[in-house]
Amino acid sequence: MCGICGYITNKSVRIDNKILEEMADAVSHRGPDGRGFYSNISRANVSVGFGHRRLSIIDLSDDARQPMCNESGTIWIVFNGEIYNFLELKPSLLKKGHTFKSASDTEVILHLYEEHKEKCLEYLNGMFAFAIWDSTDNSLFAARDRMGEKPFFYTLCEGALLFASEIKSILKYPKFKKELDILALQKYLAYEYIPAPRSIFKNVFKLPAGHFLKWHNGEVRTEKYWDLELYKSEQPFNLSDKECADKIKSLLSKSIEQRLISDVPLGVFLSGGIDSSAILALMSKLMDPRRIDTFSIGFENKSFDESPYARDLACLFKTNHHEEILTANRLIEIIPRITDFLDEPLGDASIIPTYLLSAFTRKYIKVAIGGDGGDELFAGYPTFQADKAIDLFYALPRSIKNLILKIIKKALPVSCENISLDFKMKQFLRGGFYPAFIRHFVWMGSFTPDTQMKLLKEPDPRIINKTYDDVEQLSYNYPSKQRINTLLYLYTKLYLQNDLLAKVDTASMLNSLEVRSPFLDLELIKFMQTVPVSFKIRNLTTKYILRKGFSGILPDNILKRPKKGFGMPVAKWFKGEIKNYLLSVLSEREINKAGIFNYGFINTLLDDHFSNKRDNRKLLWTLLIFQQWYKKNFNG
């Protein structure tokens, strides 16, 4: 796991090594174990420079240093990630005459590219973002893994293509001028993240998951090389429940085994939910559980605290368990550090406990196994249950719907507890009359277009109307006959890629910790694409086949638990311990200084939350993070 950066131009100019060093050092937290550089001007007058920061995980020797070249020195690579099947790929490359100077997976990519060019991606199973300079045809080839575990940002600046693991490297390029992208801001307010390919900065882009980029003669093109094919699950399926569950356990076990390859210590993020618990159960069969370190974060508020479940599982499997408590005071300490390092605002409050978990874990180990992707593979979100009920609600006459809305608003008191009944019901109903797919992102997000019209000082309806065009574009041409399949596709392409995986990458790499996700293994994904929806959600039981497969292996109190998420009691803290901090960040002076939002509307949000009139935790948190991020980047 590392940090990469570079730039290329067809102008014959000397690469400024000082700029490369500054770009690389901007992501030194991603690779504290070393750094390396390469620069050259080709015979075709193409100037190229690569920078690399190294986090040593596999092959700790200097032989694995990057940038790395092939035998002839004609092809160079900078790589961030892990290729889990590199040992399987290496023998065929040796037979074709390639020589290896290291035991790293980086060199396998390099030689695969020599053999197959862009088609090398078809062979890779892992998480990755890399760039390859090919002097034989004066081109640059870059790619991002299928699910988007590893980030890749790029921009064109005065004829130069700049790329990096994080935007902060691009900001070090002297000629780049940062400017806020207003549509990206409005997408952030709606989704709580910014969907690829946009970023918060105008003309800076994320390479989407499953895409590659090619630069040649100053021209840049991007192309999709892989996509989810969930519609395959609508074809005949011949496995029984047990056979399907056994296949899943076998594939997940192999995925975990591949992710145990490391030359440094590793452990498990253990939340007490079914995903991380299943990983621990299978991992304990692959190695002595007494050598497994498990880590969890707890809260004093019991409705948010999952640590007792994690503690019981650690006791059951006899692991070395470690816990830490997140308090309001720790939150105030962490927010500035997080917002200082965020490339763009991320409104998912769980980034705070994820950061603390990563920092805590890094004291003991260098690689952690996580459970990300399980909800997308097995339809684990409560919103999939809500989707089954929503059609019944909207089939009612408008007068009855309005009556139900009034009753709920009056009868349900505002609660600060985790996923309380009033929070769930009001989130359910705020989807209003949005189209079927968009309403899910209204449920999951913060500011709808209507509320943005009140929030923004100078709202432009033409831009606001484009808020959910990502959902519309992704779902429009997706060849699925079943709505749940299209929803799983949308959650993977939007929420998983741009929120969950971005959150984990940011929080873990800020602490120089690598996180590996067995549920995102290519072979497991390929199989799950063929599994019918009825195996994933049956009646109102989410993750049906995963629960069935681990029946008798995991305790019933784990298997039957509803999903809680990695939340924290921010609604309560906003009214108490961190109220003054919230008010200082969202003060009239700070809001007017930025000049983007209408303070009167924000003041109403604050008053309604403090008086228990409404639970505005999501809206206020989204604004809090943006204001802190904006102050650092534009208005410090």
Long-range contacts of 473-477 (CB under 8 A, 24+ apart): 475/437
- Catalytic residue at 2? yes
Helix segments in 456-532, DSSP class H? 461-464, 469-476, 483-490, 501-509, 522-528
Q: With beta carbons less than 8 A apart as the criterion, state whether 164 and 5 touch.
A: yes
Handedness of CA 504, 506, 507, 510 (dihedral sign): positive
Encoded tokens for 538? 């049956």
Q: Give me the catalytic one of 2, 120, 244, 416.
A: 2
CB neighbour class for 257 (10 Å; exposed up to 12, middle 13-18, buried from 19): middle
Judge whether 380 and 271 are in contact, CB under 8 Å: no
Of 348, 604, 617, the closest CA to residue 454 belongs to 604
Tokens of 83: 């290729």
Distance CA 514, CA 70 (A): 26
Cα of 17 vs its chain's centroid, Å: 32
- 511 — alpha (psi -120 to 50), left (phi > 0) or beta? alpha
Helix (H) or strand (E) holding 8: strand 2-9
H-helix or E-strand containing 401?
A: helix 398-411
Exposure of 81 in the CB half-sphere (CA atoms within 13 A): 30
Sign of torsion over alpha carbons 326, 328, 329, 331: positive
> How many whole angstroms separate alpha carbon 327 and alpha carbon 161?
44
SS (H, E, C) 464-475: HCCCCHHHHHHH
The torsion angles phi and psi of 417, rounded to 5 degrees, stand at -75, 165
Q: Which residue type sits at 61?
A: S
Catalytic residues: 2
